[in-house]
Each structure stands twice: as structure tokens, then as C-alpha cells.
Amino acid sequence: MTRPDPRQTAALSAALSRAVDLSALKARAEATAAPATPPSGDQPTGGYVVEVTEATFQAEVIERSLQVPVVVDLWAEWCQPCKQLSPVLERLAAAYKGAWVLAKIDVDANPRISQLFGVQSIPMVVAIAGGQPVEAFAGAQPEPQIKQWLDGLLDALRDRLPGIRAAENGEAPDDEPLEAVEEPEDSRFVAAEEAFNRGEYTAAEGAYQQILDAEPGNELARAALAQVRFLARAETTDPSVVVRADTSPDDLDAQLAAADVEVAQQRVEQAFSRLVNAVRRTSGDDRDRVRTHLVSLFDLFAADDPRVAKARRDLASALF
């Protein structure tokens, strides 16, 4: 079992808890793919299993986690191990009768959540308590091992979250959590995020850049700035550009735009490979333009993401 990346945890608290609305980007991505369905084919029942989107993350995950742990199941329709793991988690959620809640999130339909969790592969399961990620594991695990993990999680959190004992005793949880720590908000980030939520990307970019000008080492501002710049491009990019890029390898504008679309659709390796190959085919200013764009995409992910590490090695090979 592993813990989520600290940088992604910070970003989750500062940005995702405000339920950033990325409906325009999501709509573009969904326009090129069939609607996804839950892996198990079953509808959530009893309130122990909920389908979560970027718009409902605040209410269904952050707020619920102040009472009981919320176990987030990050999945996708094309993921075969997800189809093995999700039914197991659903059965266990029903068996524990509300001592914890299962939140199912389709990473293809909700790329922002996937990026903020630092998802490197799926299925990935993250436990949220008190509004913060506390434990995680990746891959389909045997049911006894998952149950052992859950029991350890509940034992560690039982004295902190009132809903655990209430559910175990067959009682309704109290309205107020026993422990909910509020961290003071940085007004600079609040202003930047409000501009971002209004779709004012230029203003948001300027606000994050001001933070970086004053604090060059502020990694949260750096990560947020990269996200804003990427989303400003991706929301205005037609997904059909991927076809044009595939048929016109010398069209640099198409290659860069296609890479943005692929990242937005969680096809990260394809995007990186596309641009590395473009670097190999180009020289001079064109090569530098592709390299700069590729490096900007690296900034969307944790520094130790293996996809980024591989792409950096491939880029170095292409350049030298």
C-alpha cells in the first residue's frame, strides 16, 4: 500500500475541494467517445456507493469524509482490472453498512481529478478522511487483502470520525464531525481560483504568475499555472485535430494540438511519444518549439511520474 504524492495532496485540498467546473473540456472529450458506464454494471444502492464527478466531488467526497472514510475507486471503462476490483469494493461497501462510503470516479470523464491524485495507473484506490487523502493502493487486490486494509483504516480513524462508530452501532451519525480542521486560505490562491472558475484564464494565469514572481519556489502555484495554461488551450481545441496530425506528420500546429487533446483524454504516453517523434523530425526553431511544448506538458504531472521520466529520457535521446 502507498500514500498519495504530497504535491497532489496539496493541490487536491486547494483546488479540487472547490469543485472546479471543467464541463467545457469534459464535453469535448466525451464528444469523441461513447458514454462510460460503471464497471460492475450495477447501480449503486443503499447510499454506500456513489458515482462522483468533478462537480459533485466536494459534496460526495470531501464533506462525507468528515463523518466516515470515503474510499475513492478511480476506474475507466476500458480497464479490465477495474472490472474485477469494482464489484469487490461494492460488495464490501454494502457489508460494512455505512462505516465507509465507496466513491466511483471515471478518470476518462473526470481528468482533473485524475491529475490531482497523480494517477499513474488504474485501478487506483484512495481513502479520504477529514478532507485529506490518508492511504492508497493500486491494482486489483484479493478481497481478503482489501478487507484487511479497510479494517486497519477504520481502526485508525474510529476515534476521529464519528460516523464510523455510529454505522457500526446501527445509528445515524451526528450532524457535526468530532474533528474537522480548517486550514487558513491564502487570499492570492483564492483570487486565482475564482478567476479560473469563471473561465477567466488570462486573469488566473496572471494571478498565479504573481505568486511565482514573489515566491519562485512555490510548487503549488507552479503546478496550478501549468494546469491553467493547458486547460485554456485544451478547451478551445477540436478533438478531430488528432486525425489531422496522424495524417500530416509535418504539420507542427496539428502535432501540438493533438498532444493536448490526448493528455486531456488521459492518453498521456501517446501524447509524449507524438511530440518526441516530432522533435526527431525537426530542427532549429521548430524543434525548440516542440520541445518547449512537451516540457510544459511534463509540468502537469508529478516530477516522479514514470511516464514523465521515460519521456524525458526519450527527449534527451532525440535531442542528442
The reported pLDDT for the residue numbered 8 is 39
**204, 195 in Cβ contact below 8 A?**
yes
CATH of the domain at 63: 3.40.30.10
**Quick one: 163 and 192 in the same domain?**
no
Confidence bin at 171 (pLDDT 50/70/90) = low
Q: Which of 82, 104, 101 is nearest to 92 (CA)?
A: 101
What is the residue range of 235's domain?
187-319
What are the grid coordinates assigned to 155, written together? 481502526
> Does 178 fall in a domain?
no
pTM for the full predicted model: 0.47
Domain edge (last residue) among 137, 168, 199: 168
Within this chain, do residues 50 and 154 fall inside the same structural domain, yes or no?
yes
Same structural domain for residues 43 and 158? yes
CB burial of residue 193 (10 Å; 0-12, 13-18, 19+): buried
Q: Say whether both 66 and 205 belong to one domain.
A: no
- In this structure, is residue 240 part of a structural domain? yes
Q: Is residue 150 part of a domain?
A: yes
Pairing outcome for strands 124-129 and 101-106: unpaired
On whether the CB atoms of residues 40 and 90 are closer than 8 A, the answer is: yes
**110-149 pLDDT tens trace:** 888 887 777 778 999 999 998 888 888 888 888 999 999 9
Note the pLDDT tens digit of each residue in 76-102. 999 999 999 999 999 999 999 999 999
Pick 218 or 106 by higher pLDDT: 106
Q: Distance of CA 28 to CAs 32, 200, 262, 313, Å?
A: 7, 19, 12, 31
- The answer to whether position 174 is within a domain reads no
| Cα 277 from Cα 310, distance rounded (Å) | 14
Same domain, 140 and 218: no
Average pLDDT over residues 260-271: 88
The band of 55, judged by pLDDT with boundaries at 50, 70 and 90, is: confident
Q: 316: pLDDT confidence band, cut at 50, 70 and 90?
A: very high
Hey, what amino acid is at 171? E
Contacts of 192 (CB under 8 A, 6+ apart): 204, 207, 208, 211, 224
Beta bridge partners of 127: 71, 135
The CA-atom distances, in angstroms, between 180 and each of 14, 68, 132, 151 are 16, 12, 10, 22
Spatial neighbors of 182 by CB under 8 A, at least 6 apart, are none
Cell 462522483 found at: 52
50, β-bridge pairs: 103
Same domain? 111 vs 207: no
d(CA 33, CA 29): 7
Looking at residue 121, its pLDDT comes to 83
Residue 97 shares a structural domain with residue 191: no
pLDDT digit string, tens, across residues 177-208:
434 444 566 888 888 888 888 888 899 999 99
Question: pLDDT per residue over 4-20, tens digit each?
Answer: 343 433 443 333 333 33
| 209 in the same domain as 157 | no
Q: Residue 315's closest CA among 300, 302, 297?
A: 297
Residue 261, in any domain of the structure:
yes
Domain boundary among 168, 200, 225: 168
In a domain, 309, yes or no: yes
Q: How many residues does the structure list for the chain? A: 320
Residue 181 lies in a domain: no
Phi and psi at residue 314, in whole multiples of 5°?
-65, -40
In this prediction, residues 268-283 reach a mean pLDDT of 93
Q: What's the rounded Cα separation, in Å, for the pair 62 and 132?
A: 8
Q: Which of 270, 296, 294 is nearest to 282 (CA)?
A: 294
Same domain, 139 and 222: no
Residue 239 CB-half CA count within 13 A: 15
Q: Which residues are catalytic?
A: 79, 82
Alpha helices in 51-184 (DSSP H): 57, 80-95, 111-117, 143-157, 162-168
Shared domain check, 153 and 212 = no
Closest alpha carbon to 290 in 264, 263, 254: 254
Residue 36 predicted with pLDDT over 50: no
Q: Is residue 156 located within the same domain as residue 269?
A: no
Kindly state the cell numbers that stand for 128. 479520504
Give domain status of residue 297, yes or no: yes
Is 29's pLDDT higher than 60?
A: no
Backbone angles phi, psi at 156, to 5 degrees: -75, -25
Alpha helices in 201-303 (DSSP H): 201-214, 219-234, 241-247, 252-264, 268-281, 284-298
Task: Name the phi and psi angles at 5, rounded to 5.
Answer: -60, 130
How many domains in the chain? 2
Q: What is the mean pLDDT of the chain?
A: 80
Of 107, 138, 168, which marks where a domain is finished? 168
Statement to judge: residues 73 and 161 lie in one domain: yes
